[in-house]
Amino acid sequence: MTKSSRRRALAVVSAASVALAALAGCSSSNSGGGSGGSGPITLTEMDYYGSAPQNSQIQGVLTQCGNQAGVKVVHQEAPRAQLVPKLLQDAAARTLPDLILVDNPDLQQLATTGGLVSLSANGLTTTGLYPSIVSAGQYQGQTYGIAPGVNDLALYYNKGLFTAAKLTPPTTWAQLTADAKALTSGSRKGIAFSAAATEEGSFQFEPFLWSAGADLKTLASPQAVQALTLWQTLVSGGYASKSVVNWTQSDVEAQFQAGNAAMMVNGPWQLPLLNAAKGLNFGVVSIPVPAAGQPSVSPLGGEVWAVGHTNSAEEAKAVAVVKCLLTPSMSSEWSKDAGYIPSDQASAAALAASDPQLAPFIAEVGTAKARTAELGANYPKVSTALWTAIQQALAGGTSAQAALSQAQSQASGS
């Protein structure tokens, strides 16, 4: 996620149009000189982080790596929903920022413009990183984006409720359904997840889609229908709230923390909030699969760093900053600040051994799939068709088969 939701929740703000206008001329400005001045180079960086703590976190690592590269990095932001359209416009005009941080499924779309610098052609090494993470940043055999840290999804469960009901965390869909039913009582639902009409909805559904053996190229396959039918059963049976079609992942976390859901699907970025909640005793396990013994396949979430074409001096310095961000020490610091998992496999393994809460997430990174792996730059279009189908099935009364068949037609343009 894609995607974390605490950032995506900031996508629509009342001052969005003003903010975008203010950012229109900010790309690749070089107040310090660069190729045309005598002072030190100033690099511009753009992302969709919107809160003060996130700004502080990103500025901290950028300052450290900027100092190593001998540059000043100016952090700027755009509303989540407007970032990619703006960057595509800037790419066409060759006015991209020097450094860009985007949700990993958006990377290939930007790379098609020719406005990004090939990191692999400029000496970036991805040795030791998870292959799926490297894949998420590639386009036509070149690496154009890279993530210091990533996230995925797992199943949180309320230990107290499970103990009282004499249940163990589910590992299969049948157990998940049975546990959700048994734990539904009064205003408390058995499970919560995000089925919103955004990338968050697709992101949360993809573990079920892929674990069933389906793929994004054939949305109406029997395996995909089986996965969406599971979600329909949970909602129609009353084991999950009908409001899931409106919930972000932050909303899901709030429901779980308040005791309104016994289980939830969510990412590791929620751990600091949950650990700070008084009296909440929870555990984390891999997302259940159709049958015992099958791997749980989660989508790879998080953002990638990319470098915009500007001039040779700025590009070289921007690439140096990205290389610094990817070092094991900086990757670990980035991941700690963001609630992510280091992209370096050795660092992630060490973290899994020391932090049991993160262990399920780290285990799933090994089998996680980049959302663009099957579709490349066409992923956003298919994701839109998928979340539309989810909405139709859960809120519109459409059968899973009919909703996904329509999605297949929408995705293929027929």
Q: Could you tell me which residues are beta bridge partners of residue 154? A: 266
Break the chain down into helix, strand, coil percent, rounded to 5. 50, 15, 35
Per-residue confidence band for 210, with pLDDT thresholds at 50, 70 and 90: very high
Question: Is residue 144 domain-shared with residue 182, that is, in the same domain?
Answer: no
| Whole-number pLDDT of residue 3 | 42
Residue 291 located in a structural domain: no
**pLDDT at residue 21 in the model:** 36
Domain that holds residue 239: 154-285
Torsion angle, alpha carbons of 225, 230, 235, 237, to 10: 120
387: burial class by Cβ within 10 Å (0-12, 13-18, 19+)?
A: buried
In a domain, 384, yes or no: no
The answer as to whether 141 is a domain residue is: yes
**What does the pLDDT look like over 349-396, one tens digit per residue?**
999 999 999 999 999 998 999 999 889 999 999 999 999 999 999 999
What is the H or E stretch that residue 160 is in?
helix 159-164
Query: Which one of 365, 390, 408 terminates a domain?
Result: 365
Q: Is there a domain that residue 414 lies in?
A: no
Which pLDDT does position 40 carry in this prediction?
79
pLDDT per residue over 229-266, tens digit each? 999 999 999 999 999 999 999 999 999 999 999 999 99
Shared-domain flag, residues 12 and 145: yes
The pLDDT value recorded for residue 18 is 34
Q: What is the enclosing helix (H) or strand (E) of 65?
A: helix 52-69
Higher local confidence (pLDDT), 28 or 280: 280
Does 412 fall in a domain?
no
Question: What's this model's pTM, rounded to 2 decimal places?
Answer: 0.86
Q: Are residues 133 and 265 in the same domain?
A: no
Average pLDDT, the chain: 89
Same domain, 60 and 126: yes
Q: At what angle do helices 173-183 and 222-236 cross, to 10 degrees?
A: 10
User: How many CA within 13 A on the CB side of residue 108?
Assistant: 21
Contacts of 306 (CB under 8 A, 6+ apart): 99, 100, 101, 102, 107, 110, 111, 116, 117, 119, 137, 144, 145
Total domain count for the chain?
A: 2
CATH number at 163 reads 3.40.190.10
Residue listed under structure tokens 């053996």: 213
